[in-house]
Each structure stands twice: as structure tokens, then as C-alpha cells.
Amino acid sequence: MGPQEERPELGVGMVGYAFMGAAHSQAWRTAPRFFDLPLAPRMRVVAGRDAAAVEAAASRLGWDAATTRWRDLLERDDVGLVDVCTPGDTHAEIAIAALDAGKHVLCEKPLANSVTEAEAMVAAADSAAERGVLAMVGFTYRRVPAVQLARRLVEAGRVGQVRHVRAQYLQDWIADPQVPLSWRLDKAKAGSGALGDIGAHVVDLAQFVTGERLVGVNGMLETFVRERPYPASSSALGGAAGEGTGPVTVDDAAVFLGRLSGGGLASFEATRFAWGRKNAIRLEVNGSAGSLAFDFEDMNLLHYFDASEDPATAGFRRIVVTEPGHPYGGHWWPAGHGLGYEHAFTHQVVDLVGDLAAGRQPEPSFADGLAVQRVLDAVERSAADQGCWVDLPAAATAG
């Protein structure tokens, strides 16, 4: 292909500029510099509530303009895609409005705060797709090269029939009870706690790598610290600030079991109370012919066991997933020079732009996001009913 500036432009407008906004901005800036994209992304405008803060973010992150009104993005002819990086309580309103306005949408996970909202988003995405307007949910860890390689090995039959999946997402950032309240600890804004914030990722990874769906779950949720100090800044919690404490209205930890559509068993753990675990996303798949194991805290490695090897010398094989022939390989550094957290966001942009240019449905779709939302909802209902088994509807297990 020719120079990026000679290709059709994809004007991007982003809503939200904090942690996820910064990661997405890095990806939009970087993707066309390392990958040969069929469209040229242009970071047109970023939206946020605080005028001074969003102006500063636009300058720092590389956006052409800033606005305090997200609906401005829908009215601009130079914005073809809206990137939603806001708390979950706003996802449905923004994404549906953008799709109705003819804008492609990338929406952060979890898709919404409820199944009802997620269903409405899927309906809007289905309607928009008939007009060539496409939507994707951002389960970014799918784009880690080692995770992509794991998916390929399962698809190739290298682990055989899946019998067990163990999935964990372990963090410790609120293990200290003096960590102040934030929107992530407010159910009205976040939808749920560890279950939706990080558990959603391992649900998606388990289904993505195995190519199967969860057909039923039972689980437990726990909130260990039920009151926390108000933050020093009122902007951190929508106006609440100062002395005293406020309630934590989400779960701190979630543990649940599941059964996969192929008959295998699965166990999941999501917690923000695992001291010493900073971002430990662990996935192990045991099949009839072998096993795979991955830990994001050593994200460039995939461990593979081939059960057909001589037992005298068999063992887990340590694969450094940085070769040119590995997923997304050859676009970055020489083999052995590892990638980091931010690269998965760049890969997400690369895949999304390629799909938009080809008129293909990007993955994961809003329907995939709804399937995860149904699992989260089922776990919450199970926990509320003393860990009873909850079957998932066919809509959650299809595809």
C-alpha cells in the first residue's frame, strides 16, 4: 500500500480520557506507524466533562480538538468512529446514539451494566450493520500474541477435547481498606465490582481460547471492605469528597464454577484483594491431548504440554511468543524483545481498522459482549440465591 496519508481517512472521536482513554489514544497513534493499515486513523476529537482537563488531555494524548459535549462527536462529518472509554453506566446511551448517527463504535468492556442494556446495544448494532455501520466491544486481552497463539493451538486440535479450564484475574489495588472510594466501587456507575471489571475479561478469554460457551454457572460474591474513605477530590466520585466514609456497593471478589458447551468444567476467580498480584490474568486449558497455560504477568510466554510425547522427557514447553511468524509478530522488535500491556490495544485497532475497511463484522461483537454479560448476570443471581446453579439461555451459548 501507499503512504498512510494517501489512504481513506477514518476520523475517530473518543469519549473519556482517563486510564482507558490514554491506552486507546496510544493505540490510535501507534497502529499506523507500525502496521500497514487500509485506512488512515485521524484522532479528531476527545470528549470529557471537565473543560480544562479534557483540553489538557487532548494536547497530551494527541487529539486535534476537545469538547465537553459527547454528542458533538455525532454531529461532526469528520468523525466516522466513536470510541467509548467511559464508565459502564454510560455505554448504552453513547453507543446506541453513535450507531444511530451512522458512526462505527468501539466500546470498552463490559458491554453494559445490565443484560437489558446490553440487549438494546446488540439490537442497535444489528440494525446499524444492515447499513454498513459496525460495532466492536473491547476485550483487549484477546490481542495479546500468546493468547492468540493459544487460540490457534486449540483450533488446530493440539489440546484435543477441552476438559478443564481454570481462569483467574488477581489484583491487589484495593486490598488496603484505606484506598478511597472511586466510581469502580459504585454499583450505579460500574454495574459490579471485581466480577464485571476483571472477571468479564477471563470469561471472555476462556470462551475465546476454547471456542466454546459457558452453559451454566454457580458462584459466590463477597465484599470484604464495606465502607471506604471519600476521595480528596470531588471529581473522583462525581462530587462526593471530604472527611468520612461511604459505602462500597459492589463485590470485592468473585468465585464461580461453570460448564462449557463441549462438556468441560471451568473454574473462575476474580479478586482485587490478592496482595502481591498486580495484574495476574491466568488461564489454563487441559484437554484430552495436552494443556496450555498463560499468565499475563509474564505475557510474552505461553506454556504448552503435548501428552503424546514420551513420558520420560515430556514436560511443559516454554514458548516465547515474539517470533515473526507468531500473531502480530514481525511488526515490532526482533525475536525475544518482548511486548507490553499497550501493544494489545494497538493490535485491537489494527484488527478493527482491517475489518472496517473490508466491511467485516469485527470481533468480539456486541453479541459476544452480551454473552459475557449474561454470564456475569447469572453469577450474580447464583450468589444471591446461596450459590444455586443457573443455566444460561441459548442466546448466551450460541456462536
Same domain, 132 and 196: no
pLDDT given for residue 4 in this prediction: 59
Rg (CA), the chain: 21
Same domain, 288 and 164: yes
Residues 6+ apart with CB under 8 A from 347: 143, 145, 328
**Residue environment code for 213-234, b if the CB has 16+ CB neighbours within 10 A, otherwise e:** bbbbbbbebeeebeebebbeee
pLDDT given for residue 6 in this prediction: 83
Answer yes or no: is 212 within a domain: yes
Give the confidence band of 394 by pLDDT, cuts at 50, 70, 90: confident
pLDDT given for residue 29 in this prediction: 98
The residue from 117, 140, 163 where one domain ends is 140
pLDDT by residue (tens digit) across 267-322? 999 999 999 999 999 999 999 999 999 999 999 999 999 999 999 999 999 999 99
User: What's the CATH code of the domain at 197?
Assistant: 3.30.360.10
pLDDT by residue (tens digit) across 212-244? 999 999 999 999 999 999 998 755 555 566 679
pLDDT given for residue 234 in this prediction: 56
Answer yes or no: is 350 within a domain: no
Same domain, 159 and 107: no
pLDDT by residue (tens digit) across 159-175? 999 999 999 999 999 99
Q: Which domain holds residue 36?
A: 4-140
Q: How far apart are CA 398 and CA 319, in angstroms?
A: 32
Cα–Cα distances (Å) from 154 to 249, 258, 321, 323, in that order, read: 39, 19, 16, 19
Same domain, 158 and 245: yes
| pLDDT higher than 60, residue 398 | no
Same domain, 80 and 183: no
Based on the structure, what is the number of domains in the chain? 2
Tell me the percentage of the chain whose pLDDT exceeds 90.
94
Long-range contacts of 354-358 (CB under 8 A, 24+ apart): 354/37, 354/38, 355/134, 355/136, 356/10, 356/39, 356/81, 356/104, 356/134, 357/8, 357/37, 357/38, 357/39, 358/38
